[in-house]
Amino acid sequence: MNQQACPVGYKKVNVYLIKFYSSVIAIFLFTFLFFGWKVPIYIITIDFAIRVFFGIEYSFVCKILNFVLKTLQIQPKEIDAKSKAFAAKVGLMFSFMLSIALLWNAHTWATVIAIIFLTAVLFEVVLNFCAACYMESLWRKYFAKKTKEEEFFD
């Protein structure tokens, strides 16, 4: 979120919604890791898929969290949505891999994936460090085709 390499777009998203959403994801991952509950993993997989393919406004978890934020009268603080959209894609990838591992009864792999996913989510919630932003900036630096403006400034 605060990294200089974060991509910039014109769409905005409420930072408190993202923090709240990440906290819910962390709680769901904890419930899986400590109690073995699989249903929360399937819920976040479906919700991430909705966020990625249809938009944050259609996510049922985000709708509930928006209602809670409005009820608590927490004023929104807007940030750029492009890096958070990439983070949602990474979240979808992790939750999908986790769901597949659970469906295949590969519990060791599921635990490893959940721990890595939880670590990234906690970095966002606790340290305000967007691991997806960092990953995307590395991708752009080493693998993505540069625009003429980016080549000019290199």
pLDDT tens sequence across 8-50: 556 788 888 889 999 999 999 999 999 999 999 999 999 999 9
Instruction: Determine, yes or no, domain membership for 3.
Output: no
60-115 pLDDT tens trace: 998 999 899 898 998 888 877 777 888 899 999 999 999 999 999 999 999 999 99
Range of the structural domain that residue 17 is part of:
12-153
Q: Is 6 part of a structural domain of the chain?
A: no
Residue 4 lies in a domain: no
Q: Which residues contact 36 (CB under 8 A, 6 or more apart)?
A: none
Global pTM value: 0.80
How many Cα atoms sit within 13 Å of 77 on the Cβ side? 7
Q: Please count the structural domains in the chain.
A: 1
